[in-house]
Homo-oligomer: A and B are copies of this chain.
């Protein structure tokens, strides 16, 4: 009846949270002595190789964040349901990030911030309106659709792209390889929210950037990636910024995190960097969500948000 918490940092706060939401259960951590046959559940983020092995009575693995790419690469991942955390809170935070950064580009915030530093009163005669700006959301799941609705309500012209065909009220959703070029050709601001899988690794590269719209009101295409750093090729982003293929980029995730101090991204004048905080999971809500899933399961219901291993998300 035990829950094993397998994280590589901050073990104790998680143990305390789970103890509160799952009273009466044994909550154990790696490195302690415990009976491996008693472990029924694992809550984990980035488990080290070997740490999830030899758990004969395991019933489910819970990811402590929204993505599961940190688990999919685990060698010999136990053959039990892998459950993603899906919290409204996290979805809302991600939408905040997208709405804020799209508005900052629409309203040319960087230009007016520079004008303030120079104590210059800058005229702003005929700025574009939101309806003039085409936002394209790559990855049109729960996160992508919530962001789409909010961006649309702010007036942006929003469309989505999804790996598999999808019908979402109020939006054109392009799909598959075939729909990708058409989607990119109508996109001024590209938002990446695709899951990281072997298929999507490095997808944000020069070949893709070159297909973005070049006739928009913002003076060139813009990339916003708050999905996973593994999606992007940073060398290509820098080169494309420098030769005008991209106008600007807002990046929350990186090939290596924390972003190394010697990365040229830090001081590129048209790169906005945030420290993987677009959608910080609220630990209390995460623990509560996992406890709820355990209660559902033990009441004979199905887990929610089980990962499809074939797709990898």
Contacts and interface: CB of A to CB of B under 8 A. Distances in A.
Interface string A55-98: 00000000000000000000000000000000001001101110
Interface string A104-136: 101101001101110101111111011000000
B153 A153 contact: yes
Contacts of A124: 275, 277, 280
Interface stretch (A37-45, A216-224, A265-273, A293-301): A265-273
7 contacts: A92-B130, A99-B103, A115-B275, A116-B266, A123-B275, A126-B283, A153-B153
A127 B121 CA distance: 33
Interface in A151-193: 153-155
Given A96-B155, A124-B280, 8 more contacts: A93-B129, A97-B107, A112-B277, A115-B275, A116-B272, A119-B266, A125-B280, A126-B280
A150 interface: yes
Given A121-B258, A282-B126, A100 B92 contact: no
Contact of A275 (B112, B261, B274, B277): B112
How many chain copies?
Answer: 2
Interface residues of A, number: 46
Given A92-B129, A266-B116, A121 B259 contact: yes
B155 A92 contact: yes
Which 6 pairs of residues, A with B, have the shortest CB-CB distance? Answer: A121-B258, A124-B277, A100-B103, A119-B266, A116-B273, A121-B275
A153 B149 CA distance: 10
Pick the most buried of A112, A119, A259, A267: most chain B CB atoms within 10 A of its CB. A119
A90 to B, nearest CB: 10
A112 B274 contact: yes
Contacts of A113: 272
